[in-house]
Structure 1
Amino acid sequence: MSAASVAETEIAKKALSVPPGTFRHTVLLAAKRFKSTWAELGRLLVQVRDEAKFEEWGHPTFEAYCLKELHIKKQTALKLTRSFSFLAKHEPEEELRAQEFPEKAPAFEVIEVLADAEERGQLSPTEYKSLRDSIWSPEKSPTELKKEFTERFPRPPPEPPPESLQVRKLASMARKLASELAGCRKIPNAVAERAAALADDVEELASGVTDA
């Protein structure tokens, strides 16, 4: 049985122990089918988080609730709540509460890219309005739209790690090399000793390097 099937079975079992018709039961059922209706679960999870429902249900944190009861990892829960919050910010409330909303909502992977872009300050409300028709009544597939928006709103290149971290990493690599050389019969002792001395020198440098 796949991990997804196991999670679905566990959610179904949990749902049997929760009174039908309650909000908690509604969230469980949404979690079971969220692959096809991500917006429904995103909306419910925002409510669970904002109203601290997870505490009423015996969980110390929102993340712990998602993982233990819904079998949804922290990062997935964050993506769902952030993506729904993005739509909630830009769309009329009546649109989000419409019965057909979960089925007609734009593809999750597309909204995720736009939410990330807005978070980085790359997407303004005016720009979203100009894109709205292309995502709510798409002529392109979600994959094509995701690619298009990813290229239009590129992530900035990652910042280089601090110099102290780089030196510590090099020291670790030097020590590992020295250890492996010392354990290889084909390597002369003199070579292994030079490698060990080099590792000592780099470790000493690493201990004294700090970032300004």
Structure 2
Amino acid sequence: MPTAVEADLQNKAQSVPPGTFRHTVLLSAKRFKSTWAELGKLLVQVRDEAKYEEWGYPSFEAYCLKELHIKKQTALKLTRSFSFLAKHEPPESVKEEEFVQRAPAFEVVEVLADAEERGQLSPSEYRSLRDSIWNPEKPTTELKREFAERFPRPPPEPPADNVQLRRLAQMARKLASELSGSRKVPSAIAERAAALADDVEELASGVTNA
């Protein structure tokens, strides 16, 4: 039984003239889990040629979300991952049908595209990995884990002082509220917690206004 999204895509496809580019994209969106590269290729064209404007959408993101039920972040990953493969696999190296239908797993390509964007993956390194990427017998989870370890994401930036203090103030106030609402907590402890929350909130306010 089709899901609500699949049913909606099917209904939209029926309302669009068969054979048109818009109809092709709708059908591709229905099956993109198994042929992600096909949809990625089409979305790049929709974006680059601003096809979404012809179809009545104010932006590429709005078109993806409202017509294809694809969130902005997913659309970005699809277009970036396809562009990554297209860059490293020119048409003369892989037949178009093979490229679209037998492209490496999306999860694997996404890791490599991210690594290249961070400057961790060079063209020569991609060539050294190519055989394992295009090998259909290589487990996707194994490849993804291997590449994630080889090209680790940098640690996240520590939050700014004002952001961190606001978060701590919220935590302190929540703790004080819960303590004051518990019958098992002596009032003296609840009062100290409330005073602490006041101090942290004042400190956070001072940093924010500095």
Shorter-chain TM band: over 0.9
Please, which runs of 5 or more residues in structure 2 have no aligned partner? Answer: none
Corresponding residue of 1:31 = 29
Per the normalisation by structure 2, the TM-score is: 0.92
Deviation at 1:96, TM superposition (A): 6.5
Aligned partners of 1:211 and 1:197: how far apart in 2? 21
Aligned partners of 2:182 and 2:42: how far apart in 1? 59
Cα RMSD of the aligned pairs, angstroms, is 2.0
Contact (CA 8 Å) 1:42, 1:80: kept in 2 or not?
yes
Aligned partners of 1:18 and 1:94: how far apart in 2? 34
Aligned partners of 2:17 and 2:163: how far apart in 1? 52
Corresponding residue of 1:110 = 108
Corresponding residue of 2:118 = 120
Partner SS for 1:100: helix
Corresponding residue of 1:10 = 8
- How many residues are matched? 210
Deviation at 1:100, TM superposition (A): 3.3
Aligned partners of 2:128 and 2:209: how far apart in 1? 44
Partner SS for 2:148: helix
Which moves more between the two structures, 170-179 or 132-141? 132-141
Q: Which amino acid aligns with 1:64?
A: A
Aligned partners of 2:91 and 2:34: how far apart in 1? 21
Aligned partners of 1:106 and 1:173: how far apart in 2? 45
Corresponding residue of 2:161 = 163
Which moves more between the two structures, 137-146 or 64-73? 137-146
* Distance verdict in 2 for CA 1:97–1:18, change over 3 Å: farther
Identity of aligned residues (%): 79
Which moves more between the two structures, 169-178 or 202-211? 202-211
Deviation at 1:190, TM superposition (A): 2.4
* Distance verdict in 2 for CA 1:96–1:7, change over 3 Å: farther
Partner SS for 1:174: helix
